[in-house]
Chains A and B, each alone.
Chain A
Amino acid sequence: AQSVTQPDIHITVSEGASLELRCNYSYGATPYLFWYVQSPGQGLQLLLKYFSGDTLVQGIKGFEAEFKRSQSSFNLRKPSVHWSDAAEYFCAVAPPFGNEKLTFGTGTRLTIIP
């Protein structure tokens, strides 16, 4: 069974600074990987996804993530954060074939300070 670890429960970053949120997965092969964002009181919005091919994927809102097979990681990055990026971020994994469920990490809460 697959699993996802987000080691950082809470991260605080200054507005305009760079951001990296960590995600490590456990699965026998290369899974499908996703990052979602949940703003306070909202549902989840898909930021980006990785299925295969180029290991650096671009998403919405200026986010990107890099898949590193050797490290079983899929870290989320943004070069300059905005106050509106304050939210909960979830990494998720699914087996690399269809009609399978997502497994979510425990989430990282991002706080932005002025």
Chain B
Amino acid sequence: SAVISQKPSRDICQRGTSLTIQCQVDSQVTMMFWYRQQPGQSLTLIATANQGSEATYESGFVIDKFPISRPNLTFSTLTVSNMSPEDSSIYLCSVSGPDAGTNEQYFGPGTRLTVT
């Protein structure tokens, strides 16, 4: 399976500021995904990031709040903009498996964000 890294691993930020999270994969992948996991909750998909096109956002998530870049097949960034304490969560990126037809995904270690 792909090896996925995320930076930063954790951060504490002040409200009103923005944080950009990086996701790096050790091989080229077709699809990359960004999830949010609020404290004690399950995973909620924020958006799907495909190289060369705009990210596709899920209901309840908008580009102005969570802009995403996907400049190539091994890298993506998620920015959490104008943060509030409600944005305190773990943010995880994942990538599609070798056969995108199976919808299998591999996850990075996550970025733990605390907004004060």
- Using a CB–CB cutoff of 8 Å, the interface residues on chain A facing chain B are 32, 34, 36, 41-46, 49, 51, 90, 94-95, 97-102, 104-107
Contacts and interface: CB of A to CB of B under 8 A. Distances in A.
B55 to A, nearest CB: 13
Contact of B102 (A32, A42, A90): A32
Interface residues of B, number: 26
B41 interface: yes
Interface of B: 1, 4, 31, 33, 41-43, 45, 48, 58, 92, 94, 96, 99-110, 112
A104 B94 CA distance: 14
Contact of B41 (A46, A101, A106): A106
B42 A105 contact: yes
A44 B42 contact: no
B104 A97 contact: no
Main secondary structure of the interface of A (DSSP, over half): loop
Contacts of B58: 101
B73 to A, nearest CB: 15
Contacts of B45: 101-102
Contact of A42 (B94, B99, B110): B110
A77 B106 CA distance: 22
Nearest to B58: A101
Given A90-B42, A90-B43, A43 B104 contact: no
A58 to B, nearest CB: 16
Given A32-B102, A43-B92, A101 B33 contact: yes
Given A104-B43, A106-B41, A106-B42, A98 B92 contact: no
Contacts of B102: 32, 49, 51, 98
Q: Which 6 A-B residue pairings sit nearest by Cβ, starting from the closest?
A: A98-B101, A94-B103, A44-B107, A43-B107, A43-B109, A104-B43
